[in-house]
Amino acid sequence: MQIRVVLVEIEGEINLGSICRLCKNFGFSELYLVNPKLELNKLSTAYGFAMHAKELIKDIKVVTSLKDALADVDAIIGTTAIPASTISNPLRFPIPPEELQNMINLNGKTAILFGREGTGLTNEELNSCDTVVTIPADGEYPTLNIAQAAAIILYTIFRLKKGRKHGRFRSASQIEKNKLFEYFSQLLKKIGFIEAKRPIAERIFRNIIGRAFISGRECHTLIGVFRRLISR
């Protein structure tokens, strides 16, 4: 199981150091920062909170765009503290952490995205994810600190890593799934699906595929079905 932790526009040294320590606690070593909002040459506080995970700070990969951070991953899991209030926003129909067992790509690389301390991930950023996870909390104050959220999610994934073995089938890669999404979009156009509602239909289909943890063979079979339907 290969896990990449991606922090989008992180601002606080304490949070960065704490998350590095968590990565070390649970056996994850790949950490990407997307357009960080702190001075990377002045991280004394972060080093202090990282404790025995200081080497992870030195190995951090810094990129300017989320696209660069996700270039070579096979599955993308976003995080949000704000669930949907209406059916009109399928981006924010998240799963709880315990359901991550069906989302983690055992045979490839999975990226876990954590958003900004103040505003989280944008809808556009969530749209790049295969699925979205949220940590249920009391309605009066449902938003957790980013390091607290990371602790719960990374621990959950650690338990999955210790308790699961590779299956006999190869899970679908991100390239294969993107091709499937492309054919689904073409099929919607082919059948004359209402143009204004296509983005919602496409997102819901992506949610389903993200939760299904499909194999490469299943993905190619669906692509074949869609291709034949489009060619008629």
Q: Could you give all domains of the chain from N- to C-terminal order, each with its CATH number? A: 2-163 (3.40.1280.10), 174-231 (no CATH)
pLDDT at 87: 46
Contact predicate 109/2, CB 8 Å: yes
Residue 74 has pLDDT above 90, yes or no: no
Characterize 192-219 residue by residue with b for buried, 16 or more Cβ atoms within 10 angstroms of its Cβ, and e for exposed.
eeeeeeeeebbbebbbebbeebbbeebb
pLDDT at 5: 97
Q: Token pair of 188, please?
A: 């919607």
pLDDT at 105: 63
pLDDT at 86: 43
Residue 106 has pLDDT above 80, yes or no: no
Reported residue count of the chain is 232
| Helical H segments across the chain, by residue range | 13-25, 44-50, 54-58, 66-69, 123-126, 146-163, 174-190, 198-212, 216-231
Percentage of the chain exceeding pLDDT 70? 90
DSSP string, 60-79: -EEESSHHHHTTT-SEEEEE
pLDDT at 168: 53
Long-range contacts of residues 180-186, Cβ cutoff 8 Å, at least 24 apart:
180/209, 180/219, 180/222, 180/223, 180/226, 181/205, 181/206, 181/209, 183/222, 183/223, 183/226, 183/227, 183/230, 184/226, 186/226, 186/230
Contact predicate 180/221, CB 8 Å: no
d(CA 79, CA 175): 22
pLDDT at 198: 92
Residue 130 — very low, low, confident or very high, per pLDDT cuts 50/70/90? confident
Residue 167 has pLDDT above 70, yes or no: no
Summarize the confidence of residues 132-151 as an average pLDDT.
Answer: 91
Name the helix (H) or strand (E) containing 34. strand 30-34
Sheet of 131-133: strand order equals 61-63, 30-34, 2-8, 109-114, 75-79, 131-133
The identity of residue 44, as a single letter, is S
Q: Tell me the pLDDT of the chain averaged across its residues.
A: 87
Summarize the confidence of residues 195-216 as an average pLDDT.
Answer: 86
